[in-house]
Amino acid sequence: MAMPVVCDPNNFPVIRLPRRLQQAVMALHFKVKAPIPICVISVLSAASIACSAGYRVTRFNGLSSNIALFLLAIAASGERKSTCDNLANRALAEVEEMLQEAFEKDNAAFKTALATWKALRSGVLVALKRAAASGNDTHELEERLAKIIDNAPTKPVMSSILVNDATPEAIIEHLANNAFTGLFSNDACAIFSARTMNNLGILNIAWDGGTIRVNRKGHQYAPLLEEYLSRALCVTQLALLKHPRTFAFRVDLRFPANPLIDDAQTNKPLERFFKSLRAKIEHNRLLREKKSGHAHGTAVSHIWCREIGKHGVPHYHLAILLNRDAFFKLGKFKIGRKNLFNLLVEAWSSALKLPIEDVRGLVEVPENPTYSLTKDDWDAFNDFFRRVSYFCKAETKHFGDGVHSFGTSRI
């Protein structure tokens, strides 16, 4: 019977390391009094991250790739693994602080440039609106607006080196903006069972030093804002608590381009839309109750984001969640029908203070818009939430102008 191999930490082959690494390991060991193998792992981690940007390695199987080192320390509580990691990576942490300072400086310059750009865009939009209202030629103003939009300032990207307990998506996002990364976890369960190891495809590519490419329909991978994702998740879960059978759907609201309504550069029209929609749904339920003697009520939960189109005209992407016992379909997309779609059209007409005919085409329903959610159907829930995560892209959000780019119903 084969006997288990037991490693004596006091006889760890430190001599096999290069001299500088030997000195670093022993200095860490004497300072922290942690077992030598733990000190070795911390020093090797720091060394591999420090070298990642400038070196490639050829392995025994002939594959050439960037440095990719995977290390696991199994240690009892109190053996000071985290302390060793913090000390070994202290120089990297200092570089992180320098990168943060550089980003804050670039971001301050970006905010100034963005404010100037928005002022120019707003001025041309006002002039364009006046010219269109007066029946004057707007060709020159449209060209100026297109040139201003093409010269929009680029938001700086925060460069960093170290991440902790990250999901596969967060690792991809980090690598999209940085040449390398160091992933650390104080709890191996966070890596092996909870998040990071749940996408073996990505881990296999990383292990082989390959290139991770992520594509989305019609656009590149875009980072998501975690705060927005959390709010969207809370709203969806609360909607299911209120209504175990929930009807969710997607819809987009657009403004007429010429002339642009007075407060289109604020979110007041959207506020009026939801106020009107709630009133119309409540009235619909009262009529139903009068007709049949009973009607299911519904809360109106929603998630929305605001984006700016090519010519500076805003639009909204919405997800609305209702009681499926009250509404289970949108109905035919034809003006004048008595259905949920027309309640949306009437509410947007009221919000814009325009006749129904003038908002024709401004309430858009995308492909495959509806979802039937229940607390036990995780596939449907995941499909819906994946769709809504599009609202949380950082790439398409405008910050610093005092107008929210994302919102939800009250949580």
How many angstroms from the chain centroid is the CA of residue 234?
15
How far, CA to CA in Å, does 81 sit from each of 40, 72, 187, 193, 194? 11, 11, 11, 20, 21
pLDDT, position 5: 41
Cα-based angle 348, 267, 328 (whole degrees, multiple of 5) = 40
Extract the tokens encoding 180: 């390398």
- % pLDDT > 90, the chain: 28
For residues 165 and 185, the answer to whether their CB atoms sit within 8 Å is yes
What span, in angstroms and rounded, lies between the C-alpha atoms of 82 and 325? Answer: 53
Q: What sign has the CA pseudo-torsion 225, 227, 233, 236?
A: negative
Structure tokens at 358: 């003038």
Q: What value does the mean pLDDT of the chain take?
A: 80
- Is the CB of residue 322 less than 8 Å from the CB of residue 236? no
- pLDDT tens-digit map of 210-245: 555 544 444 444 455 667 887 888 899 899 999 999
pLDDT(349) > 90: yes
Work out the pLDDT band at 390, boundaries 50, 70, 90: confident
Asked if pLDDT for residue 280 goes beyond 60, the answer is yes
- pLDDT, residue 282, reads 95
The Cα-based distances of 27 to 14, 82, 86 in angstroms read: 12, 16, 14
Lowest mean pLDDT among 338-352, 366-380, 392-406: 392-406
Taking 70 as the threshold, does the pLDDT of residue 201 lie above it?
Answer: no
In this structure, are residues 253 and 348 in contact, taking their beta carbons and an 8 Å threshold? Answer: yes
pLDDT over 80 (residue 56) = no
Q: Give the separation between CA 249 and CA 411, rounded to whole angstroms.
A: 19
| Domain boundaries of the chain, sorted by first residue | 11-88, 93-150, 162-220, 226-408
Which range of 10-19, 143-152, 247-256 scores highest in mean pLDDT? It is: 247-256
Residue 4 in this model has a pLDDT that exceeds 60: no
Cα–Cα distance, 258 to 249 (Å, whole number)? 29
Work out whether strand 182-184 and strand 162-164 pair parallel, antiparallel, or are unpaired: parallel
Cα 340 to chain centroid distance, Å, stands at 30
pLDDT at 195: 47
Higher-pLDDT residue of 280, 399: 280
What φ, ψ does residue 329 adopt, rounded to 5°? -160, 160
Strands of 228-360, DSSP E: 245-254, 301-308, 314-323
Q: Which two tokens stand for residue 97?
A: 């602080």
pLDDT classification of 71: cutoffs 50, 70, 90: confident
Sort 156 into a burial class: Cβ within 10 Å, 0-12 / 13-18 / 19+.
middle
Overall average pLDDT of the 111-140 stretch: 83
